[in-house]
Amino acid sequence: MTIRVLLADDQALLRGTFRMLIDSCDDLEVVAEAADGAQAVELARIHHPDVIVMDVRMPGTDGLSATETICADPDLTDTRVLILTTFENDEHVARALRAGASGFLGKYVTTDALLEAIRVVAAGESLLSPGATKALINQFLAAAPTAAAPRPRTPGIAELTDREREIVTMAADGMSNDDIARVLHLSVLTVRTHVQRAMAKLNVRDRAHMVVLAYKNGLVTPDPGVG
């Protein structure tokens, strides 16, 4: 099945380069291009792409605002957003994930890494660059609960089985399904099934938001030395 991609970037030359790169792959196809966030929302509703490669800084409606609108639209629940930007700061990463983005990459990535990122996000996995991961953890460190303000519990956490909780924790530590399967001596299909069941119980749309909830609920403790 061909993965349908929408490109959202205010630089026409960059969009053209991405289009040629993506269209050169048999399993990928660019269905539309947007020059700003408002156009990205409009074209997403028309074409229902599998993945939107979204820039952050665009004139008018920026990429993060567009992501919030797209991910909140019930008619676009199958559309994933991959943020691609030169600005991997804490605020952008945290806001992108809260908005519903499934991936966050810096524009310095290789062409192969970008193509693979599109495939990963289309498959429902999350994808964060090392810089974005560091920024995300910094956000949790800055907002760490105190004894006077106990950590809130997300509905669904208590419903996780021991195995699901274990796999969610490993995913939050940055392990892929293949890594988890190898460590736990399970098949990749079994791991994927546990991940999907955990996401259903936690009512999250993809792996990135499952990881966010793992941090929020204390299943994983950020390393204070990360920042």
Q: What is the mean pLDDT of residues 94-104?
A: 77
* From 20-34, 92-106, 167-181, the region with the lowest mean pLDDT: 92-106
* Count of beta carbons in the 10 Å neighbourhood of residue 57: 14
Q: What is the mean pLDDT of residues 68-90?
A: 84
Tens-place pLDDT, residues 130-176: 454 555 555 554 554 544 444 556 778 889 999 999 998 888 776 77
Query: Which pLDDT value is given to residue 148?
Result: 44
Q: CA 172 to CA 183: how far, in whole Å? A: 15
Share of the chain above pLDDT 70, in %: 78
Which pair of tokens denotes residue 92? 């952008």
pLDDT, averaged across the chain:
81
Query: Which pLDDT value is given to residue 29?
Result: 96
Q: What is the mean pLDDT of residues 207-216?
A: 75
User: Which domains does the chain show, CATH number per domain?
Assistant: 3-139 (3.40.50.2300), 157-216 (1.10.10.10)
Query: Which pLDDT value is given to residue 153?
Result: 65
Read off the pLDDT band of 23 (50, 70, 90): very high
Tens-place pLDDT, residues 46-75: 999 999 999 988 989 999 999 999 999 999
Q: What is the mean pLDDT of residues 178-193?
A: 90
Q: Which has more confidence, 221 or 45?
A: 45
Rg of the chain (C-alpha set): 18
Share of the chain above pLDDT 90, in %: 40
Query: Which pLDDT value is given to residue 223?
Result: 54
Q: What is the mean pLDDT of residues 84-101?
A: 70
* Count of beta carbons in the 10 Å neighbourhood of residue 24: 10
What's the whole-model pTM score?
A: 0.67
Taking Cα atoms as reference points, which of 103, 9, 88, 89 lies closest to residue 50?
103
